[in-house]
């Protein structure tokens, strides 16, 4: 069955330091997309980064990078140079399916606290 696991309910990081948020997934589908979203207290889900299952290189978007280890089924998010505004919930998600229908499943999330 499809599953996303985020084992860190909460994380603390010092401002300007890097932090890694863990995510493992389970699927039998060879074709899928992995996403990270940020959810501030306002509730809106903000897209951060995407990694396709066939992508050979790790995705990067500004201060965000995704450490994709396909054999281990892990897709960890790395935030470099943390800022106070990075304090939020972070969700790892997997989207799979075909033209017959798509579904995205989410992990339980990791709450990140950035300390000044």
**Structure tokens belonging to residue 73:** 């089924």
Rounded least distance, CB 102 to other proteins, Å: 5
Q: Which is nearer to other proteins, 35 or 86 (CB)?
A: 35
Between 9 and 85, whose beta carbon lies closer to other proteins?
Answer: 9
Shortest separation between residue 33's beta carbon and other proteins, angstroms: 4
- Tell me how far, at minimum, the Cβ of 15 lies from other proteins, in Å: 27
- In order of 69, 73, 82, 86, the CA distances from 17 in angstroms are 23, 26, 5, 12
The site for other proteins (CB under 8 A) is made up of 31-33, 35, 37, 42-47, 50, 52-54, 91, 94-109
Q: To the nearest whole angstrom, how small is the minimum distance from the Cβ of residue 17 to other proteins? A: 28
For other proteins, the closer CB: 109 or 112: 109
Distance CA 55, CA 65 (A): 14
**Number of Cβ atoms within 10 Å of the Cβ of 47:** 11
For other proteins, give the closer residue by CB, 19 or 59.
59
């Amino acid at each position: 069955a499809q599953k996303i696991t985020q084992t860190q309910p909460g994380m603390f990081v010092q401002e300007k330091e890097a932090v890694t948020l863990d995510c493992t997934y389970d699927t039998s589908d060879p074709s899928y997309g992995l996403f990270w979203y940020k959810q501030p207290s306002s509730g809106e889900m903000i897209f951060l980064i995407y990694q396709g299952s066939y992508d050979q290189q790790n995705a990067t978007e500004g201060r965000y990078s995704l450490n994709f280890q396909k054999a281990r089924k892990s897709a960890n998010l790395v935030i470099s140079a943390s800022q106070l505004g990075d304090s939020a919930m972070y969700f790892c998600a997997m989207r799979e399916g075909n033209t017959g229908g798509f579904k995205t499943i989410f992990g339980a999330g990791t709450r990140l606290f950035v300390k000044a």
